[in-house]
């Protein structure tokens, strides 16, 4: 049996609308035309619509689809669980709505061949996004620079690739410092992506940020004031954990 080159990990919560748009079919159409082995791990994050039922039906059609069923604990836990159940040499995180199309992975592959351990997608300019989303994004760039001195223009893009050993190391640390628990309603965990990339830099992982195509999709999960305040507080928490050596395994 061939080793799996790429595992795509998607955290899914109430995805009926996106599944209606055949989002997963487009993923498999791309993978089945690719020259590498692959799998897709979808973590059902306690959906209360028909997401799980529809995923089970799709798994009968697409044999590379692996479904993991979680209670609703948010996207961050979904990604952690997905990695635990993935077998690929590289792990691609992406959103079910495919605001960044899966084919953008073509841009990343040559850099993985150059032994980059982390490739970060960047939605330059956030074309099509409403003004409040652009303001929120710009504010996060400024805050990240001031609080954590991170060099990336877009940490929040859901389209990222990690070498398996690298992300396993990062998630081992995050599992230690986070107390994951059930949540109610939509949650976007704005600080989680920042924390992943902060640890990648702390560990000296070979990282590059690349522009990717992106189409704005309206989401009830993005709440301007609440997410802005949450984002700042989580950046400060990352800084505190670093200062108190919480990211050391020993």
**CATH value at residue 74:** 3.90.550.10
What gap in Å lies between CA 46 and CA 14, rounded to an integer? 8
Question: What pLDDT does residue 205 have?
Answer: 97
Question: What pLDDT does residue 215 have?
Answer: 84
- Beta strands (DSSP E) in 46-101 are 65-70, 90-93
Average pLDDT, rounded, for the chain:
89
In percent, the amount of the chain with pLDDT more than 90 equals 69
Chain centroid to CA 54: 22
Element (H, E) at 5: none
Residue 94 within a domain: yes
Residue 250 within a domain: no
Residue 106 within a domain: yes
The reported pTM is 0.89
Domain extent for 132: 6-243
Residue 142 within a domain: yes
Task: Measure Cα distances from 24 to 30, 55, 159 in Å.
Answer: 10, 9, 15
Question: What pLDDT does residue 7 have?
Answer: 98
Element (H, E) at 155: none
Residue 248 within a domain: no
Chain centroid to CA 129: 19
Residue 1 within a domain: no
Residues lower than pLDDT 50 in the chain: none
Element (H, E) at 236: helix 224-243
**Dihedral angle, C-alpha 145, 135, 9, 160, nearest 10 °:** -40
- Biggest CA–CA distance in the chain, Å, is 50
Question: What pLDDT does residue 127 have?
Answer: 59
Residue 249 within a domain: no
Residue 111 within a domain: yes
Do residues 210 and 120 make contact, with C-beta atoms less than 8 angstroms apart? yes
Number of domains in the chain: 1
What gap in Å lies between CA 236 and CA 120, rounded to an integer? 22
């Amino acid at each position: 049996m061939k080793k799996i080159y790429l595992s795509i990990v998607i955290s899914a919560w109430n995805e009926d609308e996106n599944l209606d748009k055949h989002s997963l079919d487009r993923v498999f159409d791309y993978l089945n035309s690719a020259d590498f082995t692959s799998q897709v791990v979808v973590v059902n994050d306690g959906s209360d619509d028909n997401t799980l039922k529809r995923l089970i039906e799709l798994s009968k059609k697409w044999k590379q689809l692996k479904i993991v069923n979680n209670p609703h604990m948010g996207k961050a836990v979904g990604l952690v669980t997905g990695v635990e159940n993935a077998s690929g040499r590289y792990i691609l995180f992406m959103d079910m709505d495919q605001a960044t199309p899966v084919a953008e992975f073509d841009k990343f592959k040559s850099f993985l061949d150059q032994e980059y351990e982390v490739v970060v997608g960047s939605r330059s300019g956030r074309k099509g996004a409403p003004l409040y989303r652009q303001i929120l994004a710009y504010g996060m760039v400024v805050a990240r620079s001031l609080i954590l001195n991170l060099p990336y223009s877009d940490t929040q893009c859901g389209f990222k690739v990690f070498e398996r050993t690298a992300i396993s190391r990062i998630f081992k640390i995050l599992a230690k410092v986070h107390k994951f628990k059930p949540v109610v309603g939509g949650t976007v965990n704005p600080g989680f992506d920042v924390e992943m990339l902060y640890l990648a830099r702390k560990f000296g992982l070979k990282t590059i940020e690349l522009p990717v195509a992106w189409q704005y999709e309206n989401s009830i999960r993005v709440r301007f004031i609440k997410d802005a305040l949450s984002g700042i507080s989580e950046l400060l928490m990352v800084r505190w954990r670093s200062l108190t050596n919480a990211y050391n395994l020993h």
